[in-house]
Structure formats: C-alpha cells, structure tokens
Amino acid sequence: MQLDAKIPQGDLAGKWDNCRFDNKLVNPANKRKFDVIVVGTGLAGASAAASMAELGYNVKSFCIQDSPRRAHSIAAQGGINAAKNYQNDGDSVFRLFYDTIKGGDFRAREANVYRLAQVSNNIMDHCVAQGIPFAREYGGTLANRSFGGAQVSRTFYARGQTGQQLLLGAYSSLMRQVAAGKVTIFPRREMMDLVVIDGKARGIIVRNLITGRLERYSANAVVLATGGYGNVFYLSTNAMACNVTAAWRAYKRGAGFANPCFVQIHPTCIPVHGDYQSKLTLMSESLRNDGRVWVPKQQGDTRNPADIPEQDRDYFLERKYPSFGNLVPRDVASRNAKEVCDEGKGVGETRLAVYLDFQEAINRDGLDLILKKYGNLFQMYEKITDADPSKEPMMIYPAIHYTMGGLWVDYQLQSTIDGLFVIGEANFSDHGANRLGASALMQGLADGYFILPYTIGNYLAQAGFDKQPVDDPAFNLVEEEVNERITGLLKNRDHNKAGTQPVDYYHRKLGAVVWDHCGMSRDKAGLTKALAKIPEIREEFYENVYIPGTGQELNQSLERAGRVADFLEFAEVMVLDALEREESCGCHLREESQTEEHEAKRDDDHYSHVAVWEYKGKNEQPALHKEPLRFENVTPSQRSYK
Amino acid sequence: MAAKKIAITVKVWRQTDQKVKGSLETYSLSDISTDMSFLEMLDVLNDQLTMEGKEPVAFDHDCREGICGTCGAVVDGVAHGPERETTLCQLHMRHFDNGQTICIEPFRAKAFPIIRDLIVDRSAFDRIIAAGGFVSVNAGSAQDGNNTLVAQHRAEQAMDAAACIGCGACVAACPNAAAMLFVSAKISQLALLPQGHAERKMRAQAMVTIMDNEGFGNCGNERECENVCPKGISIRNIARLNREYLRATLAANE
C-alpha cells in the first residue's frame, strides 16, 4: 500500500489554490457523460451529491433510511464554525486552523486543516443563501456564540438544531437536483460491498431493504459518505442505523483504514439506566458553564443529593483543575468522571453517573435566568429521566459520540483505491485525535460543497468516461460473496437450540468489551484482553445467533446482524490500533503514557504519524503503514488545564 | 422517581405487505421498566417474539432522540401517543399503567401505503419537497452571509416553521389525511425569509399541486395536526400557506 498524501506545493495559504489550478478539469459538456455513486445522505453526502449534480454530473444517491432527510447529521445540536470574524474579536482563517489542529492534539495534516478553515466562510454564505434560519441579532445580522473552548465567537447556530437545519438545507438542494433529473435517489438501500475492477472503484452492491433483493449499480467513481463507527460500542449517541459496514467493505477491498482508535467520548450524556437501553442521549456541553460536577466523598453514599452536606461532596474537577474547573476539555472531563466512578463514588442506580448541579447557579442568578439559558435542556432531561434539574442535580456520564478515525484519504479525498472517495465523518482527515465542538458540521459540508466537487473532476478527467456494465464477472463475484455472507448469518434455523440468542445480545457483549478496554482509558493488559475476547464473541455469534425470517424480504434483524458481523471484525483493528499507539493524544489515553498530572502525554518522536491499516486476508494480521505528519507552520505543544 | 416494573398487553398491527390484509395481534409483556422508552419496549417485545420463533414487529426508527422524524405510530388512537410535543421515541413507559392494554397502529393515509407492520411509505413528502421546497442557489454563487439582513423575530418565526421533522403525524391525525401542516411549514419558512422570495409563487403552486396529486386531502380546520405535532408547528402556517397560494394564483405575473 502506497500512501501519497498528495499535499500540493506552495505555502500553506496557497496550497488549495495551487491544487485547484493543477487539477485537470472536465469540460462542462462532458460532465453529463460521467456517473457518480454517492452512498449516504448526511451533510457530506447530500451536499456532495447536490453540488456534483449542479455541475452536471449524473449522481446516484443511496441511503439506508426511508428518506435522505433523516441521516444522523440531523441530530447535531450546537453549531457550525466559520472564520468570518463578524464579531471583530480577532478571528481569522489561521486562528481557526490553529485551534482545530491544536484541539486535535497535533495528529492531523496541516494542509487539510488549513483548507477546511479557508472554505468555512463559503459554507456559511451558501447555507444562508439556502434559507437556513440562523439566529440573528436585532439588526438582522448573523449571531454567533462561543463554543468548544474557543476564545473567539465563531459558531453560527439555529437554536439547538443546527445540524437539522443544515441537513435540511443540503437535502433541499439535493431534492432540487432530483427534480432536475440530475440525481436519482435510492432510499432504503444498504451498501453491502464495493466492486473494484482493474484497481478502480466501479460500483456497489446494495440490498433493497424492502424486497431484500441485491441490486447492482455502476459508475465512473464511488463516494462514501457513510458516517462514523461509534456504534461498535453498542451504546453511543449515534443513531441506531449508524454502522461501519460500507467503510469496512471498502477496507476489505483495499482501502486503508486510518487511526481507528481515535474515538471521541462526550462527557455530558444521560447515564445508562438499564440493560434494555438502546442508545444514549447527549446533553449540550454548554451546561458545564453553570453546572458544578460532583460526587459524594464517601464510597457507596446512597443519601439523596440534597441530604449530602457540602463537606461530604467532592467537586473533583474544581479540586483537580482549579483554573479551568468544570470547563476542562471533553476528554479530561470524561476521564475524571470515569475515575471517580471506578473508585466506587458514582451515583444513581447503576453507580455509573456523576452529579451536575445547578443549585449554586440558581441561588446566584435566580431560576428564571438559568431556565432562560437551559430551559429546553432541562425539559429534555426531565422527559427522559422524570427528574427536574432545577430541583435536584442532573446525573451525567460520558458516552461515545464521534469517530475521528476513518478511511484514509489523500488531499484530494481519494482513498487508497482509485476512484473511491471518502468524505465527512467516514474519512479520517481533519480532526486529528480529538474534534472541537461545531467542527463536524463544518467538515462534512466543506468536503461536500467545496472540496470533493473539484477534486473528483481531476480523477474523472483522467479516468475516461466508459460505462461499466453491471453484468461484468466482477459484479457476479462480489454479489456471490454478499449472498454467502447473508446465507451464513441465516444458517441457524432453530430458535430453541441451547445457547441461541438474538442479534443485539452479541452487539451488547461486544460493546461492553470495547467500552471497558478500549474506551476512555486504555492500557496494554486491557487491550490485549479485548483482542482475545473479540474473536470469541465473533465465533459465538456465528454459532448461536438466531435471525427470524429470510433474506428475501424486509428483515430488520438481518440488517442488524450484518452490521454487527462487521463491527465484530472491525473492533479488532480498532483495538490493535490502540495497542500499537503507545502514547496518549487527544481522546486516546494510554495509562502508560501520562504526565504527572494524569494528562495525555504525547510522544512526538515515535507517534507523530497517521496509522493506516491494510487488510491482508482472512485470519491474517493487517499491515500497519505510517503517514508521517510534518508541522511547518505550528509547533506542537503539551496541553495543560491546571 | 424510581423506576418500577409494569406488565402490559399490546395490540399491534401486523401486516406482511401491501397485498395482504393486516390485523391486530395481542402480546403480553411483563417486567417493563417505567424508564424504558416506547421503542425500547418494542425492542423487548421483538426479542421475546424472536426467541419464540415468531416474526418481530417491523417499525421505523433511527435517532431515538426526537429529531430525525423516522419513528411514529398511532398509540391508542393518537399519533406519537399521549404526551404532547413528543415523538414516539421520546415517549416513556412511565406514562402507562400496570395492566394497561396499549393499541399500536401505523400512520394511516392513502398517500402513506403500508410497507410492513408499522412501517409506511412516506416518500410522497420527498416528492413534495422536490417540487419546490428549496431556494435555487448553486454552491459557490452565494454572496456574503451578512449581506442578507433578516429581522430577529422573522428569523425566529422561520425557525418555528423549519423545526418540522417530516414525521407525518399530521397526516395520520387529520380526518382528511391532509399534508397541509407539513407543506405549510416549508412554505412558511421560505416565505418569511428574503432568500425565498424570488421563487415564492412558483413554490406555492408547485408544492400544492404535487400535494394534491399524491392523494393528500384538504385542511378542514380540525387542528388535529397541530395537536399531535411533536415540534409544536402551529396551524397559523396553514393560514400563511393559503395566503401564499392565493397570491400565487390570483396575482398577475410581473
């Protein structure tokens, strides 16, 4: 596997210009001769499909949901960053670039991150033009708020539903192209595999989720915009359908998988409350501006929080980080919550929660002001937990939220397979080892509206516009393999067989192993243990999973089983990556590599690289390749929050 | 409130596909935690059915935090169930009593054919949006964001309408199976903002035409739609839709 990042020549600010100038162009009259497949209709997929159709390409857009409008980008709350400097507070493209690369703990490419900051302003302009109802000042100008620890106000927002509004904007542009005949949408289709012919991505096999039939589609290039793999942990803030299957299938066809161990854990989520639980809900981290995090000093203290006097409470973040207090970054807040719970001081029925207490803020500012700031969040919390945060402290616990790792792509967003492009959360690109708040929306839309439409042209201009017939032997072969996998999942037909379990049983089991050993903090012993356990669960899964129904119909158990099967393979590479990276950086904390203050300690001498895994065949150890990271415009520094 | 365990009976609409007749089947569930969401209760039911060798109940769901609009069913005659401004995934079992029988049916409308059990085909909504629920602007051609000023109260009103999640509860609740709350939410959002003005007439006419062609009914001012809307979209938007449509059909083209 050759890793050529194809970073353009020139100084940092000129690289994107140079790239666009050097890229080959497709003549406007020729664009209609090219077909492009886009899998996924989140911010990245919908914006890419719409923009390429606007340019004249023929786009086939696939999604797993019943409509392109439902992709999980819709759940993003906080906002989207842009370096507009509308607040006159000293923001600039370079500052947004610097904050993003530092927030990622210096594990991302300078050139990519700088380009992201450069196009951030175009994104905002386009989204305003689409009629997205952003928050406004009285004078009618766009409002901003500060977010994610940035020292400038650069986050644009539409109430607490920014992701929804941006996605519906991209969806409306997509549907406009559907009406124009340039995009065909294929909803309720799940990508089952990638078809590579002569080293080039030429098509996909999808399963029609209503009829169960396999369908073949070909194109001149394939774009994956299939999101992150957070659901490998079973419980996460991701939507239920989020999965690694498309990315994993591409990996097994030759695409490198980069930094799979970089997974972001968000500190303020509603805790797990029972074995039946299907997902976790995020509460905006803005709550930490006024809430105080604490646990009882005494282990196993089951008194009501109101009955625990001040001297028996441990405000552990304020105690350990006097200058940042409750506002330490996401990874630090998460790890400390886990630490106190591991010490047996956790609260709630499961003992896996800490208090987030607003009493002092209410006493200081009055309930009205606090409700004005957080009323909707208090309501949402009450709806789920039946407890009123204005009367008793919230209970929170960290949860899996976003995956920075993903398929490796070069500067042109092309994977290690020619003609396979990967955008949005599905690629590894711009967030390094930790993503800043309000940057996910920015990256998804940057890739889709303003980067891929240019770079894919460079590939197509050189690839030629021959049509790929879907009766090619390569399609037959891949479809046959997909069929075998489905048959393998359906082989247990006796639900009464001893040891038989439904799909989710194995998903929960896998989730528990990776959460315990490859979650908020990791060490060699735990990771090694996980590496031994995962194949056992996989074996048990194939031996005992019972899936009702057939493959030739709508079968939601079968859909989930296919995804769990891939998670069971992918998890091993994720754990291997965590084991291999013997340093701490961003969200990846190796117990063995900490500063004296228990903070992540990077090892730039040995790990200033992107770890890229190459599939080597069944039962073979994947090969590790390294793309070195060079910092010419910023100097990597150690983070400290004391 | 500490969680309790309750036992319930559910009557669920079962239908293999559009071609066969469906019916309500009755199942008993014990040990349902009152902290469970309604969909988690259905997960438990499905695992139970699976291990009994029966077909699990097919239902649409995704984000399970009330924003994607994928889930939805009629619970005891009410779309999304008894809690106001709450999607089915955010409805919790603490709102039901021990021993209660709960009836669960799909969103029913001529324009939403049943696919299986509780899953219906809402693609008519996509076709309505494709008819005109957009601003025709290509990526790259926008002016600076702050060149378009929008009064704060206007932006807020537009946001109230834009909050629609496209779940289809409004259609299921309406005696005429009208989609006017859904259509009016998009029309209002873009009519309230200057960005939408260039295509205002085309949009109102095109979206209403497709809405009619898809087999949705007309508004009869029953207000059932706004009562079940999980995002509290007001029927004032329907009044605005009617004004926009009138304006589009009566006023001369300039």
Interface residue B239 vs chain A (CB under 8 A)? no
CB contact under 8 A, A130 and B137: yes
Is B252 an interface residue toward A (CB < 8 Å)?
Answer: no
Q: Is the pLDDT of residue A149 over 70?
A: no
Inter-chain residue contact A70 with B68, CB threshold 8 Å: yes
Q: Percentage of chain A surpassing pLDDT 70?
A: 100
Residue of A85, A128, A447, A546 to mutate when probing chain B, most B C-beta within 10 A: A128
Examine the pLDDT at B177 and tell me if it is beyond 80: yes
Q: Residues A354-412: pLDDT tens digits? A: 999 999 999 999 999 888 788 888 988 998 999 999 999 999 999 999 999 999 999 99
| From-to residues of CATH 3.90.700.10 in chain A | 266-399
A502-515: average pLDDT: 97
Backbone angles phi, psi at B73, to 5 degrees: -160, 165
Instruction: Check if A249 is active-site.
Output: no
Q: Which of residues 163-182 of B touch A (CB under 8 A)?
A: 163, 165-166
The residue-averaged pLDDT of A268-296 equals 90
Tell me what the pLDDT averaged over chain A comes to.
Answer: 95
Strands across the sheet containing A623-628: A406-407, A257-258, A609-614, A623-628
Residues whose CB falls within 8 Å of the CB of residue B153, separated by 6 or more in sequence, listed in order: none
pLDDT at A595: 86
Q: Of the residues A330, A335, A435, A602, which is catalytic?
A: A330
Residues of chain A with CATH 1.20.58.100: 476-604
At residue B2, the pLDDT reads 73
- The domains of chain B, with CATH numbers, are 5-115 (3.10.20.30), 122-250 (1.10.1060.10)
Give the pLDDT confidence of A2-52 residue by residue, as tens digits: 999 999 999 999 999 999 999 999 999 999 999 999 999 999 999 999 999
Cα–Cα distance measured from residue A547 to residue A565, given in angstroms and rounded to the nearest whole number: 13
pLDDT band at A136 (very low <50, low <70, confident <90, very high): very high
Q: What is the pLDDT of residues B55-81, one digit of tens each?
A: 999 999 999 999 999 999 999 999 999
For B155, which residue in chain A has the nearest alpha carbon?
A133
Q: What is the CATH number of domain A476-604?
A: 1.20.58.100
Q: How many CB pairs under 8 A join A and B?
A: 224
Spell out which residues of chain A touch residue B39, defining contact as CB-CB under 8 Å.
278
Contact B123 A66 (CB under 8 A): yes
pLDDT tens for A162-200 read 999 999 999 999 999 999 999 999 999 999 999 999 999
The model scores a pTM over 0.90: yes
Nearest to B116 by CA among B106, B125, B108, B126: B106
Cβ contact (<8 Å) for B139 and A383?
no
Work out the pLDDT band at A597, boundaries 50, 70, 90: confident
8 Å CB contact of B139 and A50: yes
Given CB atoms, is B227 within the 8 Å cutoff of chain A?
no
Kindly state the average pLDDT of the residues B94-106: 98
Residue B254, pLDDT > 70, answer: no
CATH class given for the domain over A266-399 = alpha beta
Measured between CA atoms, the residue of chain A closest to residue B49 is: A548
B contact test, residue of A73, A159, A172 with most B CBs within 10 A:
A172
Distance CA A268, CA A398 (A): 6
| Whether residue A640 has pLDDT greater than 60 | yes
Q: What is the pLDDT of residue A287?
A: 87
pLDDT at position B246 over 90: yes
Share of chain A above pLDDT 90, in %: 88
Whether B40 and chain A come into contact, CB under 8 Å, resolves to yes
A299-356 per-position pLDDT tens digit: 989 999 999 999 999 999 999 988 888 888 788 889 899 999 999 999 998 899 999 9
Query: What element of type H or E holds A361?
Result: helix A359-365
* Binding-face residues of B in 207-226 toward A, CB within 8 A: none
What residues in A contact B88, CB-CB < 8 Å?
none
Q: What is the predicted ipTM?
A: 0.98
* Beta-bridge mates of residue A397: A269
> What is the predicted pLDDT for the residue at A38?
98
Residue in B with minimal Cα distance to A76? B67
Looking at residue A599, its pLDDT comes to: 80
**pLDDT score of A454:** 97
Asked if residue A148 has pLDDT above 70, the reply is: no
Locate the chain B residue with the closest alpha carbon to A164: B67
pLDDT of the residue at B1: 53
User: How would you write chain B as a 3-class SS string?
Assistant: CCCCEEEEEEEEEECCCCCCCCEEEEEEEEEEECCCEHHHHHHHHHHHHHHCCCCCCCCCCCCCCCCCCCCCCEECCEECCCCCCCCHHHCEHHHCCCCCEEEEECCCCCCCCEEECCEECCHHHHHHHHHHCCCCCCCCCCCCHHHCCCCHHHHHHHHHHHCCCCCCHHHHHCCCCECHHHHHHHHHHHHHCHHHHHHHHHHHHHHHHHHHHCCCECCCCCCHHHHHCCCCCCCHHHHHHHHHHHHHHHCCCC
Summarize pLDDT for B114-165 with one digit per residue, the tens. 999 999 999 999 999 999 999 999 999 999 999 999 999 999 999 999 999 9
Residues A60-78: what's their mean pLDDT? 96
Residue A377 confidence (pLDDT): 85
